C-alpha cells in the first residue's frame, strides 16, 4: 500500500467485469474500497496503473494504462489480498461493524464466476436478509475463492472479495459455525 498525493492510500486490487480482469491501484480513505464503492456521489471508480487481461487468459496482460475508470454497476467483483484494504476491521478492543458477528460459509454466483468463502453476519443469517440488509452495494466474502464457471482451473483467492449485490445470481448459506 502506498500514499497518493492527497494522502489517501493506494491499494492493489483485481477488478472483474464480465470479460476482463483488471489489476491496478485505487485510492481509498479510512473506509477502504467498500466506502468508495458505496459513495453515492460517484458512479465511477478510478484505477491507477491498470493492467488488463481477458478472463480466459488471466495471466496474459493485453493492455495497460495509467488510469482506468469503471462504472461501478459493471463491476462483478473485486479481489483484495488484505481485508483491511476493503473495510475497517476494527481494533484490538473491538471489531468493526463489518467484521462483527459469526462466520457463515457462503456460495455466491455472479456472471461467469462462482465464489466460495465466509460471510460475517450478526443475527440470524438468511440469504434474503443478507442481500437486502447488508451495508452498501457490495457483499463482503472473507477468505474467498472465485472460480471461473467454464474454466474451474482458473481461480482467484483473496482475504476479501467484494461482490456487487445486483450481479449476484445465487447466494447459498450453510449453518453458521
Partner 1 sequence: MANIFVIDDDAQLLQMVGLMLKRGGHTATLINNPFEGLEKLKEAKPDLLILDVMMPGMSGHDFTRHVRDKEDLAYLPILILTARAQDVDRVTALKSGADDYMSKPVTSHELMERIDSLLSSKQPVVKPGREGIILSVFSMRGGVGRTTLAVNLATALRRLTREEVCLVDFSPSGGQAAMHLRIQPKVSWDDLAAAERLDPAMLKDYLLLHQSGLRLLAAPMLPQLATKPSGEFTTSILKMLRERVAFTVLDLPPMINPAVRASLLASDIVFHIVTPEVVSVQVEVQATRALIRFGLNLQQKIHVLNQITPEIQLPASAVEKGLGTRLPFQFGFDEHQSRALAQGVPLAITTTQSPIPTVSLNMAEAIWQKIVKN
In the complex, the residues that contact partner 1 under the rule CB under 8 A are 1-2, 12, 14, 23, 25, 49, 51, 58-61, 64, 66, 79, 81, 153-157
Nearer to partner 1, 120 or 158 (CB): 158
Q: Is 170 helix (H, G, I), strand (E, B) or coil?
A: strand
Name the pairing type of β-strands 44-54 and 63-71. antiparallel
- Of the candidates 127, 115, 133, 111, the one whose C-alpha atom is nearest the C-alpha of residue 172 is 127
Nearer to partner 1, 54 or 102 (CB): 54
Q: How far is the CB of 112 from partner 1 (least distance, A)?
A: 15
The grid coordinates of residue 3 equal 500514499
Cβ-in-10-Å burial (0-12, 13-18, 19+) of 31 comes to middle
Strand segments (E) across 72-124: 77-80, 90-91, 94-95, 102-110, 113-121
Q: How far is the CB of 148 from partner 1 (least distance, A)?
A: 10
Q: How far is the CB of 114 from partner 1 (least distance, A)?
A: 16
Nearer to partner 1, 46 or 49 (CB): 49
Nearer to partner 1, 60 or 128 (CB): 60
Q: How far is the CB of 177 from partner 1 (least distance, A)?
A: 25
Name the pairing type of β-strands 113-121 and 138-148. antiparallel
Q: How far is the CB of 173 from partner 1 (least distance, A)?
A: 26
Give phi and psi for 168, each to the nearest 5.
Answer: -70, 130
Give phi and psi for 34, each to the nearest 5.
Answer: -60, -40
Nearer to partner 1, 32 or 104 (CB): 32
Amino acid at each position: 500500500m502506498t500514499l497518493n498525493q492527497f494522502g489517501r492510500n493506494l491499494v492493489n486490487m483485481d477488478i472483474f467485469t464480465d470479460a476482463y480482469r483488471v489489476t491496478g491501484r485505487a485510492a481509498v480513505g479510512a473506509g477502504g474500497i467498500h466506502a468508495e464503492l458505496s459513495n453515492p456521489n460517484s458512479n465511477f471508480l478510478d484505477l491507477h496503473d491498470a493492467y488488463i487481461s481477458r478472463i480466459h487468459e488471466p495471466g496474459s496482460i493485453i493492455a495497460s494504462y495509467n488510469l482506468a475508470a469503471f462504472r461501478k454497476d459493471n463491476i462483478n467483483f473485486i479481489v483484495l489480498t488484505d481485508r483491511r484494504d476493503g473495510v475497517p476491521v476494527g481494533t484490538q478492543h473491538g471489531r468493526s461493524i463489518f467484521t462483527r458477528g459469526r462466520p457463515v460459509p457462503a456460495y455466491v454466483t455472479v456472471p461467469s464466476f462462482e465464489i466460495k468463502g465466509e460471510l460475517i453476519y450478526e443475527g440470524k443469517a438468511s440469504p434474503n436478509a443478507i442481500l437486502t440488509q447488508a451495508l452498501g452495494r457490495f457483499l463482503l466474502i472473507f477468505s474467498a475463492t472465485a472460480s471461473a464457471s467454464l474454466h474451474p482451473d482458473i481461480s482467484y483467492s483473496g482475504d476479501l472479495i467484494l461482490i456487487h449485490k445486483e450481479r449476484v445470481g445465487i447466494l447459498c448459506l450453510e449453518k453458521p459455525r
